Structures are given as C-alpha cells and as structure tokens.
Amino acid sequence: MTAPPPLPFPDSAVPTVRPASLAELFMAFNWMALQGFGGVLTVVQREVVERRRWLAPEEFIEEWAVAQVMPGPNVINLGLMLGDRFFGWRGAVTALLGLLTVPLVLVMCLGLVYGRFQDNAQVAGALRGMSAVAAGMIMATALKLLPALRRHPLGVPFCIGIAIASFVAIALVRVPLLAVLLLVGGLSCWLTWRKLLP
Amino acid sequence: MNAGLAWSDWLGLLGQFMLLSVMSVSGAIGTVPDMHRYLVDRHHWLSDIQFNACVTIAQSSPGPNTLFVALMGWNVGLNAGGGLAAGPSAWLLGLLGLLITMVGILLPSSLITYNAARWGQRNRHRRSVRAFKQGMAPLVVGLLLATGWILVRNGADPLRPWGVWIVAGLSALLVWRTRIHLLWLLGAGALAGAFGLV
C-alpha cells in the first residue's frame, strides 16, 4: 500500500497518522501487550486511537468488529490487520511477534514460580482485585466506543438497542456467541445494508 | 502421568489445536472446554490442577490471554519428559509442546483473518463490506460490556460478592472519564485485594 486508506465513514473528524517503521510497530504492540492484564483491548484502544492516532474511533470499532468475528484471539487478529494495513505481511508478522514475544517469556516465568505461591491468600486476593479492575477497563472501552456510533446509518437509538440486546443475550441469558453473531449481527448488517446507498 | 509421547501423539496434538483454532470465533478462551476434554479427560496428558493453573496464570499475566495455550503445551511436554526435575531433556520436550500448541492455535486462524481482512480492505467500498463492518459495530459495544460483566461475576469471592463489583465499577468510571494510567488502577486493585477488601 502506498497511501493511507480513506476513512470508511464520511468526514470523520479525527486525522490519523501511520507508524513510521516496523520497529515502531513492534515496540508499540509490545508495549500494549505488557500493559494489558487480563486482556489487551483497553490498552489497544488507548494507544491506537487516543495516543498514536493510527485509527479514527469509527475505524477502530469496525476493525475490532472484524477481528472479533474472525476465528482466533481478537487482539492478535487486530494486530495482524493493523500490521498488514501499514506494512503488508511483514507488518502483520511484526505485530504478532510484538504482542507475543515478551509476554510469552513472562508467562513462562510466572508458571515456573506459580507453584511456590499458589496457596498464599494475599496473592490470590491481589489477583482477584486486579482482574476486577481489568474487567472494569473492558466495560469502559465499550462506553468510549459509543461516540463512534453517532454517524451510524441506523441512528443512535437503534444502535444502543442492538448493543443492549447483544449484552443481555451474552451476559445474562448466556446464549452462545456464534448464535448472537448470526442472529443479532445478521439482522443489524441486513438493516444497515438496506440503509446504505448501492 | 504418562511417560513419553509418540510422534503420532504430537501430530494429534497439533491437529487438535489447529482444529480448535478454526473454531475459536470468540478467542481461544472459548475453546477451553474442548481443550479440557482432549488433554485431561481423553489423553491424561495434564492433570485437572495443571489445566486450571495454566488458565489462571495466563489471565493474571500481561499480554494476550491466548498464552495459556503455551503453558498447556509446555506442561504436556514436561510431563512427557518426566517433569521439571528430570532435566534438560524434559525442558526440550516442554519447548516442543509449547511450539506445537502455539503454532496450532495461531496459524489457521491467523491465515484466515489475514486473507479475509485483505479481501475486505480491497473491497471496502462494496456495499456488502460496508454494511457488514458498520452493522457489526453496535454489537461490539454490547459484546465488550458482556465480557467485562462475565469476568467480574466469575471473579467474585462467594463470601463478599459486592467487593469486585465496586472495584470494577470504579475502574470503569475512571477509565471512561479520565486519562489515568492503567497500571495505577491495576496496582490499586492488587493492593485492595491483598488487604482483603475485595
């Protein structure tokens, strides 16, 4: 790719930039992975959208949707897609290695020392506290993505209805994800398709 | 535990994880029940305790949650070689197991995502591609909220379930409304947990 791709939403307000080099891409994803306890998404949204401005919020939510629907870990999928978008397959591999290399070493070290501390109540409590914070971060990310729906073809109230329906189905009714993606997602895509000009 | 794995066993392990990779629409964590059936129930390559520890350690370590798969492969290899104390030959088998499970869980899904995302990027002006991406966007918000919700609920201490909800709610509010660094929040959560507040 020679030029940055145009924004899929019309007249998005946020100008975006590209990473300067593969090294910057690697370090960025490495840094994001190391900050992400119990999931990397919150950090990715902060770094990619708010700090580095590689993607506009509207682009981020769309790319995330694709990363979520594709098989494989969401954050890794997003890394592959972003890396490819900026540097082709070399970028995809670089982002993947950036996300995995150092955290893999860390998790192996943790695994090796785990046996010594697994029965310590304070360690278990600290892990519980950290995972609660991490869960809150994921919910905050959802709230931060809401403004990206302002220009959505279906309108804001309908979008919120879809969001609530999928939340209830997954979190409260425990419907399998695949069914929600096919039914709620299919309906939403079909309605959007009808609203978009051919 | 068993002693030694035949080449056909390693190939079977690779094939099983490649199959799971294709099915891991909600990320590798969604295939954990299937992994348990294969590694623990069917082949007895891991004990129940080892299996749960792999998931827990990866959740409490920075980086993509998928790394629990690496720990599983490492432990399968270690067990085959006679355990950590058996020396370098067991460690090598551990590394082999790690490599097999990680390649298995990542390669198929990454190839699918990479090619699908490229196709989508080339055809991003098509009405169907735009409808799919924009139609899925509101769903993403609901799915993220649901992920956070489930993490909080699963992490709750049965004796004091409200503790984690308060911490998660505060964390969500702070990340949503401020630009506070995420590591401060995780540190505060760890302290609160270590002192028995959650």
Q: What is the pLDDT of residues B136-187, one digit of tens each?
A: 889 888 988 888 888 788 777 777 788 889 999 999 999 999 988 878 888 8
- Give a yes or no: residue A94 inside a domain: yes
Q: So what's the pLDDT on residue B92?
A: 93
Give yes or no for residue A45 having a pLDDT over 80: yes
pLDDT at A80 over 90: yes
Residue A16 lies in a domain: yes
Query: What pLDDT sits at residue A79?
Result: 94
Residues 128-167 (A) with a CB less than 8 A from some CB of B: 128-146, 148-149, 152-154, 158-160, 162-167
CB contact (8 A) between residue A166 and residue B142: yes
Are A93 and A176 in a shared domain? no
Return the ∠ at Cα A52 (arms to A47 and A54), rounded to 5°.
100
pLDDT digit string, tens, across residues B7-48: 899 999 999 999 989 877 666 776 787 888 899 989 999 988
The pTM (predicted TM-score) of the whole model is 0.76
Q: A42 in a domain, yes or no? A: yes
Domain assignment of residue A117, yes or no: yes
Instruction: Judge whether residue A39 has pLDDT over 70.
Output: no
Inter-chain touch B137–A149, beta carbons under 8 Å: yes
Note the pLDDT tens digit of each residue in B98-129: 999 999 999 999 999 999 989 988 888 899 88
Asked whether residue A70 is domain-assigned, the answer is: yes
Rounded Cα distance between A84 and A96, Å, is: 11
pLDDT at B93 over 80: yes
End-to-end alpha carbon distance in chain B? 37
Q: Is B76 on the interface with A (CB under 8 A)?
A: no
Pull the structure tokens for residue A186: 């299919």
Judge whether A83 and A25 are in contact, CB under 8 Å. Answer: yes
- A124, A139, A141, A156: which is closest to A43 by C-alpha? A141
- A66 and A136 housed in the same domain: yes
Closest CA to A84 of A1, A192, A198: A1
Task: Give B137's Cβ-side CA count (13 Å radius).
Answer: 32
Contact assignment for A70 to B25 by CB distance below 8 Å? yes
From B73's Cα to the closest Cα of chain A, the distance in A is 11
Contact: B62, A185; criterion CB under 8 Å: no
Q: What is the pLDDT of residue A54?
A: 94
Question: Is residue A86 one of the residues assigned to a domain?
Answer: yes
- Tell me which residue of A195, A151, A184, A65 sits closest to B127, measured CA to CA: A195
**Which of A147, A170, A189 is the endpoint of a domain?**
A147
Query: In terms of domains, do A94 and A141 share one?
Result: yes
Judged against a pLDDT cut of 90, whether residue B71 lies above it is answered with: yes
> How would DSSP label each residue in A63-96?
HHHHHHHSSS-HHHHHHHHHHHHHHHHHHHHHHH
Kindly state whether residues A120 and A173 are assigned to the same domain: no
Weakest mean pLDDT among A11-20, A95-104, B64-73, B121-130: A11-20
A119 and A175, same domain (yes or no): no
Q: Kindly report the CA angle at A172 between A171 and A173, in degrees rounded to 5?
A: 110
Verify whether the Cβ–Cβ distance A66 to B127 is below 8 Å.
no
User: Percentage of chain A surpassing pLDDT 90?
Assistant: 40
pLDDT tens for residues A121-176?
Answer: 888 788 788 878 888 888 898 898 888 888 899 999 999 999 999 999 988 988 87
Q: Is residue A87 part of a domain?
A: yes
User: Looking at residue A9, what is its pLDDT?
Assistant: 43
Chain B 163-182, residues with CB within 8 Å of chain A CB atoms: 163-165, 167-176, 179, 182
pLDDT-wise least confident of A11-25, A166-180, B84-98? A11-25
Mean pLDDT over residues A32-50, rounded? Answer: 81
Q: Give the pLDDT band of residue B96 (cuts 50, 70, 90).
A: very high
Does A1 reside within a domain? no
A31 three-class SS: helix
How many Cβ atoms sit within 10 Å of the Cβ of residue A151? 15
Query: Residue B84: its pLDDT value, please?
Result: 80
Which range scores top for mean pLDDT: A63-72, A77-86, A129-138? A77-86
> Are A156 and A95 part of one and the same domain?
no
Count of structural domains, chain A: 2
Domain that holds residue A168: 152-198
Residues A115 and A185 in one domain: no
Same domain? A177 vs A142: no
Looking at A124, A147, A170, the residue that finishes a domain is A147
Range from A10-19, A108-117, A124-133, B102-111 carrying the lowest mean pLDDT: A10-19
Distance, CA of A60 to CA of B96 (rounded, Å)? 36
For B87, other C-beta atoms within 10 Å of its C-beta total 11
Mean pLDDT of A61-82: 88
Enumerate the residues of chain A whose CB falls inside 8 A of the CB of residue B138. Answer: 149, 152, 154, 158-160, 162-163, 166, 188
A111 and A179 housed in the same domain? no
Judgement on whether residues A191 and A119 belong to the same structural domain of the protein: no
Contact A164 B120 (CB under 8 A): no
Q: Are residues A85 and A33 in the same domain?
A: yes
Looking at chain B, which residue has its C-alpha nearest residue A46? B179
Give the model's pLDDT for residue B22.
86
Q: Say if residue A127 is in the same domain as residue A182.
A: no
**Cβ of B107 under 8 Å from any chain A Cβ?**
no
